[in-house]
Chain A
Amino acid sequence: MRCGDFRTTYAEDMAIFDSALARGLLAALLVLLVLLPLLATGYWLDVTNRIGIAVIAATGLNILTGFTGQISLGNAAFLAVGAYSTAALTARGVPFLIAVPSSGLISALVGMIFGFPSLRLKGLYLAIATLAAHFIVEFTVVHWESMTGGVNGIGIDPPKLFGYAFDEDRKLYFPILAATVAMLWFAKNLFRTRVGKAFVAIRDQDISAEVMGVAVFRHKLLSFAVSSFYVGVAGSLLAYQARIISPENFPLGVAIDQLGMIIIGGLGSILGSVLGAIFITLLPEALRLLTGALAGSFPGLVQLFASLKLGVFGLAIVLFLIFEPDGMAARWHRIKAYWKLYPFSY
């Protein structure tokens, strides 16, 4: 299908979407996404908004875990930091466009602090250290009532831009879409330039990265910061979408879900974060539709829904680890490679 695409400059060779066809498809996808609110009902826009937020958070986690090789279980905590920063900032009258990035920056700072153990710890030990982040943040949120509202939670005003209030999912869809696209683009660029490549080098061989002149610890901290910035922005958008946040929005299960997203989607792949986030967010929706459709013939199924959800989540991860350990992104690249040469597959 696609052949003879010769490049004559390095800039062309380094492009992400390197052919007219790919660029055209991307443009079509973007147009479709912009038009989606015209087609979808309110409920499904809630789902797409949650997908957008999950994509940002999963990309953040993938930057740290998939690209830099630092396993983190602190994602729910960084999400909470972003969300509560937004709550605190909007309560003090900070506008939407400033509150979102500021929440990201606050989360980045907290992430860097919890990244310090990575100087000495690797692998599972680091995972346990980041688990501490989760419990410390949870404890702080519950007990710092004047700021966070404690276990009762705290309300957030809907975002306003130039006097226009984004007070329902149909309207909030657009800022979330814009943020998601912008942050994906940023991440993709990051990994074709110096800092991103240093992250990957640290993942693959930290000793030779050091010998090659990469400041390993500095870049690990930087990775924690960038990753937590992404998760913090996701948390901020989540606060705007949920309107009321309490510690119950950020259980450890959220961090596990996000690990599931990047494992199923593909570690060390931006596309993987997107596919994984979509898959994991849609999984319970698909199950809900399925149990709904089967409710007539198997009435007991609806009661089983909650446990069914967890079971299918676990099953999906196990199946992916067995049959596609490199994730959905790898499968996608294989499909693409197949069609590239079709019908002459050798």
Chain B
Amino acid sequence: MARLEIAQVSLRFGGVYALQDVSVQVGAGELVAIIGPNGAGKTSLVNCVSGVYRPLVGRIHFEGQDITRLAPAARTRLGLARTFQNIALFKGMTVLDNLLIGRHFRQKTGVLAGGIYYGPGRREEIAQRRVVEEIIDFLEIEHIRKKIVHTLPYGLQKRVELARALALEPKLLLLDEPMAGMNAEEKEDMARFILDVNEEKGTSILMIEHDMGVVMDLSHRIYVLNFGKKIAEGEPALVRGNREVQLAYLGAEA
């Protein structure tokens, strides 16, 4: 059974089909990439999975459970996490607090226990701090743990967003352009972290990315979308040689 199974999903905005009959599968521990030209429907697809959009038709199953109509928060509880194309961190909070929000739904402390602090409130906070510190260590962001997020450079913010998603301890991670706007060095770091997450934690990853070098190197399988339709799928080498994919990216020969 695939960890994520998107079956014949269609999504329409007015008269425009953003997605048409798209099916995608991500197995346990798999790293899958979605590529396609601008406006192909990649982000729309990820939004359907994370619950920001509801597809018009089609079903989405996560570990065998139908999540098509679930609220975003409920999906997070099941083990889905995502990052956003334009960084959507909590800008006024420290890196630590951003990550601790990832632990929010596993915690119990309410207003009273929190306000009194000493006792259960503090115990829980320290326990979660320990978990979060492991992630900080994993992504090598110890030096900025107490920095306010909006003061950080772009590349680091992207890494913090990955860290925040990891704090949810997801089974499936949706990455929407994790390397957009990065320089070569930052891309290499990010690629290493994505591989580490995938291999060490066994997290399935569904990634949208435009950098073909990265996509070809990292992914186990690739899906190609164009104008809301799936035009190809398969292993990197296979997709690269696909005639239709070449047409979509380079245009028809004159």
Contacts and interface: CB of A to CB of B under 8 A. Distances in A.
Interface in B82-111: 82, 84, 88-93, 97, 100-102, 104-105, 107-111
A72 to B, nearest CB: 18
Given A213-B168, A226-B111, A200 B97 contact: yes
A266 to B, nearest CB: 12
A105 to B, nearest CB: 12
A233 to B, nearest CB: 13
A197 B121 CA distance: 13
A203 B93 CA distance: 10
B129 A201 contact: no
Contact of A200 (B52, B90, B121, B164): B90
A127 to B, nearest CB: 20
Contacts of A35: none
B109 A208 contact: no
A213 B52 CA distance: 13
A252 interface: no
A83 to B, nearest CB: 23
A197 B115 contact: no
B114 A195 contact: yes
A193 B84 CA distance: 26
Interface residues of B, number: 41
B115 A194 contact: no
B93 A193 contact: no
A193 B97 CA distance: 9
B125 A198 contact: no
Interface stretch (B18-26, B72-80, B196-204): B72-80
A201 B90 contact: yes
Contacts of A14: 122, 125-126, 129
B124 interface: yes
Interface in A177-197: 186-187, 189-190, 192-197
Contacts of A203: 92
A70 B92 CA distance: 15
B104 A213 contact: yes
Contact of A195 (B73, B105, B109, B126): B109
29 contacts: A10-B133, A11-B126, A14-B122, A14-B126, A186-B116, A189-B121, A192-B125, A193-B113, A193-B114, A193-B125, A194-B124, A195-B111, A196-B114, A197-B101, A198-B101, A201-B90, A203-B92, A204-B91, A205-B90, A208-B84, A208-B88, A210-B73, A211-B50, A211-B51, A212-B104, A212-B168, A213-B73, A214-B73, A226-B111
Interface of B: 50-52, 72-73, 76-77, 82, 84, 88-93, 97, 100-102, 104-105, 107-111, 113-117, 121-122, 124-126, 129-130, 133, 164, 168
Interface of A: 10-11, 14, 186-187, 189-190, 192-198, 200-201, 203-205, 207-215, 222, 226, 268
